[in-house]
Structure 1
Amino acid sequence: MKYFSFIFVLILTVALAWVISNPIGPVPPIAPLIDPYHGFWQNMYSEDELAESELILEGLTAPVQVVYDENLIPHIFAENDLDLYTAQGYITAKHRLWQMEFQTRAAAGRISEIVGDVALELDRMTRRKGLGYGAELGLEFLQKNDPETLSFLEAYANGVNQYINTLTPAQTPVEYKILNYKPETWTAYKSLLLLKYMSDMLVGDRDLEYSNLRKVLGEELLNKLYPDFPVENDPVIEAEKVWDFTPIEVQKPDSTNFPNDDLVIEPLPQPEKGTGSNNWAVSGSKTKNGNPILANDPHLSLNLPSLWYAIQLTTPAYSVKGASLPGALGVISGFNQNIAWGVTNATKDARDWYKITFQDDSRKAYKYGEAWRETTFRIEEIKIKGKEAYLDTVVYTHYGPVVYDKSFRAERQDVNFALKWTVHMGSNEQKTFLKLNKAKNHADYNEALDNFTAPAQNFVFASKSGDIAMRIQGKFALKWPEQGKFFMDGADPKMEWQGFIPNDQNPSTLNPERGFVASANQHPVDPSYPYYVFDNSYEHYRNRRINGKLRQMDQITVEDMKTLQFDDYYTQASEALPLMINLLGTVDSSDEKAQVYLKLLSDWDFYADPNQKAPTLYYIWWGKLYDQIWQEWEDFGVPVVKPNSFQTIQFLKNEPEGSVFDLGKTPSSETASTHVRKAFEMMLEEMKEWEEKEGDFTWANYKRTTIQHLVPQFKAFSVANVYTGGGGGIVNATSGRHGASWRMVVELADQPIAFGVYPGGQSGNPGSKYYGNFIPIWAEGKYLNFNLRNVDDSEGILFQTTLK
């Protein structure tokens, strides 16, 4: 019996040892993860506790000094650009390696390699959109046209890889340990891939949905519900702008026969609701000190590690500081001794869809005019953790990849969808930012922007010499009216783009009379601009609030600009709520809750501050009302996009008895009041449930702003319920999962006076005290001092490292 017990215990011990040392499905080996010398315990140290005064970096031509301030922001001092970018790669990887790698894996369609087939469809979609293909074309472009930028990217990669080569199991970021994989070599291609990934995050299109709407509604009703320009268009480029160029003539076909198919597939993922940005610059004529002031706050998903990494880069020729993108060269939004710049998304339609008619099932040729053109095939090998690789065949036409076909999300129809996108055209966005980092004046700014293709961006500018400017930059196709608004026939050559708008004819302005420039994702121009401009997702509220405030303001200070960035005024509510209360009429006096809620709403000053209760009531009521009005859009049986909130409010205001409010599926005739009353009842029901379950319905507690780890399942690495105000459509656009990913304000004095903050921290290590230490500062609308440092400044130093 004792031998049996011994053998049983031995087998149990061996089995347990095997279990904790080997992965089981997606679960990593437990032993390495909990190993006190190499596991997650070793990720509990902060960077200042592991600081090294000297590091050896191969390939440097001279020593590089790295000075970390008290917030772990590195200030890199190098003798030349190659050394500078080598050091930037090394230092960025030291703090954000896992993030850099994870994002480029996502951009390449390689998530299945680390999480298994749960990500297969996502990876297929990414590859079929051609992000990797676009990055390859970008690399070829650099090899042929810009070896200098390529050499800088390779220097950056060299720095990243030298850091990777020093990693021990103990120092490896915790996410690698949990997901049970290792870092791989960084390349210039990956940096370009990252920039394509950003383009994909910011660009959208509604061609398929608009085609469905055109068929369901007819052109007359479509144009009424979805006008190209709103009645209150306060565009990026001031409406008074005179276009002093001769536009290129665009030939519109005599007839345009759009495909009439029922497009039943789900469209490509669009930019998430809440993605947007603000930027503006005011001239010295409107500021207290007579210096231009520039502000920028990009609105993106609130993630940890943060999308941005603050940094200063200095050589004897220039010194630049601001927000960098881990994995890319230089500073993306920032300033130097002479200028400041920032970016917002220009939301211009840069993707078009074409119906492809193949000659036969082999798909080796497709119809184009009276002839047949050859296709090419790209085999995408998607490696899957724990399983055999998946091979996906993607057909390429001269338009671009056939994203949707019978093998991918088109089972219900025989329609092949090819995507034409400027991301597939070979470009050098990296050079734009390298040149902006060194720019001294408006001419340098324009020269830098000439290299930028995608995504379309509003570049704001201010200089120490007094200039302010705005330019909407991208590679924009010459289109006839409505081209690209609908799904097009790829067999018809008349559907081709007719070239591109010259860079010097892209919308821009320099030192306008009003004394400021500003953008907030609204329409870029008014109807006087001579080229066709369209997008479905233009913003209608933040822009009017910002422009209205800037028109009124004088003797402006940096503090005024900080206050405006954190402005919580809910413009949409100020325009919709009075109409809703009026249309509601009387409320049952015996319903105490209804009376309390209505009193809160009636007394509200329209500021969505965190301690207010009225924003919660309005948000729920408006959401129910919007869904009530457009409920029949859910019954069309094909994907569509609903009219936007601005147009909906216009109908409430101007046509409350109009036919748009009548539901065809009911025997009665509905009006705006019908929907308002029904939505109010639905709001009462939801609030009853909320108060019974949660109690507190103040705005911050209701919207529950969360800064989420890039892997949503890693909730312990996220920060939930951040106490802050704002919301979608508000200048302080902080909703539940989106908001100001970076705030910067710079006064262009003799020496720039700068402030900045983002919702995260410099470290990508959840165990570090620098992982999320900026969040409370950001949530309160406060800032860090962001002035340029000199190498010999002695105050506020956390530690220093010399790279040799």
Structure 2
Amino acid sequence: MKVFSFVLVFLITVVLGYVVSIPMGPAPPVAPLLDPNHGFWQNMYSEDQLAEETIQLEGLSAPVKVAYDENLIPHIFAQNEEDLYRVQGYVTAQHRLWQMEFQTMAAAGRISEIVGPVALELDRMTRRKGLAYGAELGYEFVKENHPEMLVLLEAYADGVNQYIASLDDARLPVEYKILNYHPENWSSYKSLLLLKYMSDMLVGDRDLQYSNLRKILGEEKLDLLFPEFPEENDPVIEAERVWDFEPIQVNSPEEGTYPDDKLVIDPLPQPEEGVGSNNWAVAGSKTKNGNPILANDPHLSLNLPSLWYSMQLSTPEHRVKGATLPGALGVISGFNENIAWGVTNATKDARDWYKITFQDDSRKTYRYGNEWREASHRIEEIKVKGQEPYYDTVVYTHYGPVVYDRTFGSERQDMNFALKWTAHMGSNEQLTFIKMNKAKNHDDYNDALNHFTAPAQNFVFASVSGDIAMRIQGKFPVKWDKQGKFFMDGADPQMEWQAFIPNEHNPSTLNPERGFVSSANQHPVDPSYPYYVFDNSYEHYRNRRLNNRLREMNSITVDQMKELQFDDYYLHAAEALPVMLELLGNETGGDEKAEKYLSELKSWDFYADPNQKGPTLFYTWWNKTYNQIWNDWMEWDEPVVYPNNYETVRLLKNNPSSEFFDHVNTELKETASNHVRKGFAEMVESMKEWEQEEGDYTWANYKRTSIQHLVPQFRPFSVENVYTGGGRGILNATSERHGASWRMVVELGTPIKAFGIYPGGQSGNPGSKFYSNFISKWANGDYLNFDLRSEDQEEDLLFQTTFTN
């Protein structure tokens, strides 16, 4: 049965990829694919069936033992770090080689090499954003400033490459066979490029949209709908924090200079609204056993192979375990024998845009103050499968690359917009995690973070000595009020970043009186923080639910922390639905279905559990109402940012007759009630149609969470319709395609107790039983025991491999 299922899935995948769906270049030769000795048949085996007792690995100074537990989690025991990371590279490549290479090729703008011209514009955008450029600068920075780190990076790359050299066609991951290409060698540069890829995934900016809104609405209305701080600000760093430093001062221009035009270009892709990450730590004074407990659940796109790969890395000096990023060294979110740490996205604006004025069409020089500065031209050769290479010229200024110009995104000669981004500055984030893996205390934690530039992250910390901490770390420019919120004139030196916030001035807290630290992508601070802080995508619901629960809880246990990570309380609905019901009144028109839906909404307890109908009805009603309210804006030619859910609810509640509810192109003077009622009517019709076509509208069936293969066309390698609750703005932030990509809970006692899970499996091979075996546990809120393993431990041992020189 297993053979039949894998063959069927494989054949369906090939058909979908090359016949039904988006073209992906020439189809692979059929004969090699069907070859029983080398084709896809060889990918039906699980890793335990292919286990080797010994593997020769050149470059080792001593034997390295790798013990795989029953879930295929490797525990590496090496005598030194160079051997440790050489084997980490080999083992990771054994299970995730295709994923590692695919993600770094995406980061380098090289997907067209694999799938053909369908990816050309995506590759052009990636090249123009300068991810490869940033990784090149990072490599030079590491080479010059941290040569000892380069030794470890090269050891990891060597391990990957020795695995690649050992591969024959039979053992080649199935994606290479379907897409008809072979892996190339790994490099230290690629590991650094992977971290730039993560930075790009997590950063957003709305300079373009805010610039347009400023011209359309004016400053006063813009500030009314988009306040710098929400009314109910519950920031990452507690509001009681006293800032005991003298901030760096910068010169603020008397009047900001902004481009005059409304900008009609497509903005860069942005992180999805309403999903992010949670992390927190509670002090021993609030826990049942008197030990700190730390929790982390980063929310990202739900993909197969999974973003994370679990591992334990051990030398005689340290043992560390947690989630690794395939292609990067060390553990990214995890714990060792002394500390635990976790990360969430800090959502702080770290990308600014500048309009560049070139001297002439050659674009060799551009205006800066009273002079003309020289630009550089970078020729990007984009190889395209089945076609001749495409050559794109990207102009670089001292701000950064000119992303938008007459050849990309705009037909206007004078539209030249350069991107300034901290990811383009030489840095060594990899060193942060190497140091964190070995950290023993709060001082070590701070020392590790001093090397971290981008993407800005909220690093939570707890130790066996009882400390808990939070630090918001990144390289942040010191900005004058509203700098970077709008497009700036690159010819005006006043628009420059003048200085950077010192690491010791970044928002942080240690052992706060309230007994916990937490972050959920909300505002980092309250208005007392002496530096300008802005981002458009701050969370307004998860953070308040999380902090309210942590304030209430005492004698906390690990199980309660697990339950909190899986909490389905829909705070947005709890605040919005009563307002909407009041504005609706009894306007159901006597419709039987409308009465039924209304009754279900009124009896709902605001939990987005998978078997509930209330979340489906509210979610649909809210979206219909929201689109009604801001419909005029959605019809503008210029891209703009829309008011968030939190401010929209406040407007409905506090000012239902606001001018913002009145649509200019209708004779009726609309109020909040008009939009709520129309939204309800549209919801009723939408749900009637759903019931007729789909039947069940319980939340899990309506939401239909799916965990997709990294190539969306390979749908049979995905897992769809996962039965689970949660949603956007909910602590269990599981939406259709996003959610908790990794859940970890660690109690810092003696011994340390740890638990973890992610939605996938250790293997990157769709034919393996370890490919998606964690998903059902993850969907139910269950965890794996993640305790540190000793070298001589025998229980739960799947198999063991010894690497020798």
Question: Shorter-chain TM-score: which interval?
Answer: over 0.9
Q: Distance in 2 between matches of 1:256 and 1:623?
A: 36
| Structure 1 segment 140-151 matched on structure 2, within 5 A | 140-151=140-151
The aligned counterpart of 1:759 is 759
Deviation, 1:254, is 1.5
Match of 1:462 in 2: 462
In structure 2, what is the equivalent of residue 748 of structure 1? 748
Paired position in structure 1 for 2:12: none
Residues 135, 189 of structure 2: 8 Å contact kept: yes
Tell me the equivalent position of 1:604. Answer: 604
Deviations 1:368-398 (A, max 9, x none): 0000000001000000011110010000000
- The corresponding residue for 2:33 is 33
Contact 1:274 1:738 in 2 (8 A): no
Partner in structure 2 of residue 333 of structure 1: 333
Contact conserved, 2:275 with 2:729, CA < 8 A, in 1?
Answer: no
User: What amino acid is the match of 1:139?
Assistant: Y
Q: 2: distance between equivalents of 1:672 and 1:589?
A: 19
Aligned residue number for residue 738 of structure 1: 738
CA distance in 2, matches of 1:30, 1:274: 44
Cα deviation, 1:658-716, whole Å, max 9, x if unaligned, reads 11111111111101100000000000111111001000000000000000000000001
Deviation at 1:263, TM superposition (A): 0.6
TM-score by length of structure 2 reads: 0.97
CA spacing shift, 1:720–1:24, aligned 2, 3 Å: closer
1:635 Cα deviation from its structure 2 partner: 2.6
1:15-34 to 2 correspondence within 5 Å? 25-34=25-34
Letter in 2 for 1:148: E
Q: CA deviation at 1:637?
A: 1.5
Q: Indicate yes or no: 2:742 matched with 1:703.
A: no
Q: Which amino acid aligns with 1:407?
A: T
Cα offsets for 1:275-298 (capped at 9, x unmatched): 410000000000000000000000
Partner in structure 2 of residue 76 of structure 1: 76
Amino acid at match of 1:375: A
Higher deviation after alignment, 585-594 or 656-665: 585-594
Query: What residue number does 1:281 align with?
Result: 281
State whether residues 587 and 595 of structure 1, in contact with CA within 8 Å, keep that contact through their aligned partners in structure 2. Answer: no
In structure 1, what residue type is equivalent to 2:747? E
Structure 1 partner of 2:264: 264
Give the secondary-structure state (helix, strand or coil) at the position aligned to 2:531. coil
Amino acid at match of 2:205: D
What does 1:608-623 align with in structure 2 at a 5 Å threshold? Answer: 608-623=608-623
Note if contact 2:431-2:451 (Cα within 8 Å) is conserved in structure 1: yes
Deviates more, 1:271-280 or 1:477-486: 271-280
1:271 CA displacement: 1.4
Where does residue 784 of structure 1 map in the other structure? 784
5 Å matches for 1:169-318?
A: 169-318=169-318
Q: Distance in 1 between matches of 2:590 and 2:630?
A: 31
Conservation of the 8 A alpha-carbon contact between 1:274 and 1:735? no
Is 1:501 aligned to residue 501 of structure 2?
yes
Cα distance in 1 between the residues matched to 2:784 and 2:486: 46
Instruction: Please name the residue that 2:516 is paired with.
Output: 516
Partner of 1:539: 539
For 2:260 and 2:362, the matched residues in 1 are separated by 25
Residue pairs, 1:439-588, within 5 angstroms: 439-588=439-588
Are the aligned partners of 2:346 and 2:458 in contact in 1 as well (CA < 8 Å)?
yes
Over the matched positions of the two proteins, sequence identity in percent amounts to 74
Task: Work out the CA distance in 2 between the residues paired with 1:376 and 1:257.
Answer: 25
String of CA shifts for 1:148-197, please: whole Å, max 9, x gaps. 11110100000000000000100000000000000000000000000000
1:202, 1:275 within 8 Å by CA — same for their partners in 2?
Answer: no
Contact 1:296 1:342 in 2 (8 A): yes
Structure 2 counterpart of 1:769: 769
Partner of residue 348, structure 2: 348
Q: Distance in 1 between matches of 2:730 and 2:117?
A: 39
Q: Secondary structure at the match of 1:323?
A: strand
Paired position in structure 1 for 2:160:
160
Partner-residue secondary structure (3-state), 2:255? coil
- Partners of 1:409 and 1:24 in 2: how far apart? 24
Deviations 1:707-735 (A, max 9, x none): 00000000010000000000000000000
Q: CA deviation at 1:540?
A: 0.3
User: Partner letter of residue 591 of structure 2?
Assistant: D
| Match of residue 367 from structure 1 | 367
User: What is the letter of the counterpart of residue 676 of structure 1?
Assistant: V
2:178 is aligned with what amino acid? I
Q: Greater CA deviation, 740-749 or 244-253?
A: 244-253
- Code of the residue aligned with 1:125 in structure 2: it is M
Q: CA offset at residue 516 of structure 1?
A: 0.1
Asked if the contact 1:298–1:742 (Cα under 8 Å) also holds between the matched residues in 2, the reply is: yes
- For the 8 Å contact 1:216–1:636, the answer to whether it is kept is no
- Aligned partner letter, 1:217: L
Q: How many angstroms apart in 2 are the aligned matches of 1:151 and 1:387?
A: 38
Q: Deviations over 1:216-237 (max 9, x none)?
A: 0000000001111000000000
1:412 positional shift = 4.8
CA contact (8 A) 1:706 1:719 kept: yes
Q: Give the superposition deviation at 1:589.
A: 6.1
Counterpart residue type for residue 792 of structure 1: D
Q: Distance in 2 between matches of 1:588 and 1:545?
A: 32
| SS of structure 2 residue aligned to 1:387 | coil
Residues 660, 132 of structure 1: CA spacing in aligned structure 2 closer, same or farther, 3 A cutoff? same
What letter corresponds to residue 546 of structure 2 in structure 1? I
Report what 2:722 is aligned to: 722
Spell out the pairing of 1:583-732 with structure 2 (5 A cutoff): 583-588=583-588, 590-732=590-732
Give the equivalent residue in structure 2 for 1:59: 59
* Aligned-partner Cα distance in 1 for 2:588–2:624: 20
Structure 2: which amino acid aligns with 1:603?
S
Contact 2:273–2:537, Cα closer than 8 Å, also in 1: no
CA distance in 2, matches of 1:656, 1:627: 16
Give, in angstroms, the shift of residue 409 of structure 1.
Answer: 1.2
Residues 303, 707 of structure 1: 8 Å contact kept:
yes
| Separation of aligned partners in 2, 1:626 and 1:281 | 35
Structure 1 527/334 Cα, relative in aligned 2: closer, same or farther at 3 Å? same
Superposed displacement of residue 135, structure 1: 0.3
Contact 1:153 1:329 (C-alpha < 8 Å) held by counterparts: yes
Structure 1 runs of 4+ aligned residues shifted over 2 Å read 23-26, 272-275, 587-590
Contact map agreement 2:207 2:352 (CA 8 A) in 1: yes
Alpha carbons of structure 1 residues 419 and 588: separation in structure 2 relative to 1, 3 Å:
closer
User: Hey, what's the Cα distance between the residues in 1 that align with 2:720 and 2:523?
Assistant: 34
Judge conservation of contact 1:658–1:671 (CA < 8 Å) in 2. yes
In 1, the alpha carbon distance for the partners of 2:609 and 2:443 equals 42
Work out the CA distance in 2 between the residues paired with 1:717 and 1:103: 17
Q: What is the alpha-carbon distance in structure 1 between the residues aligned to residue 359 and residue 727 of structure 2?
A: 51
Supply the AA of the counterpart residue of 1:516.
F
CA contact (8 A) 2:572 2:729 kept: yes
SS, match of residue 329 in structure 2: coil
Give the Å deviation of 1:272.
2.7
Three-state SS of the structure 2 residue aligned to 1:170 is helix
Work out whether residues 568 and 609 of structure 1, in 8 Å CA contact, stay in contact via their aligned partners in 2.
yes
Aligned AA for 2:639?
Answer: P
Question: Aligned residue for 2:14?
Answer: none
List gaps (5 residues or longer) in structure 2.
1-17
Q: Between Structure 1 and Structure 2, how many residues are aligned?
A: 783
Query: 1:24: how far off?
Result: 11
CA distance in 2, matches of 1:539, 1:351: 19
Distance (whole Å) between structure 2 residues aligned to residue 737 and residue 464 of structure 1: 36
1:588 Cα deviation (Å)?
3.7
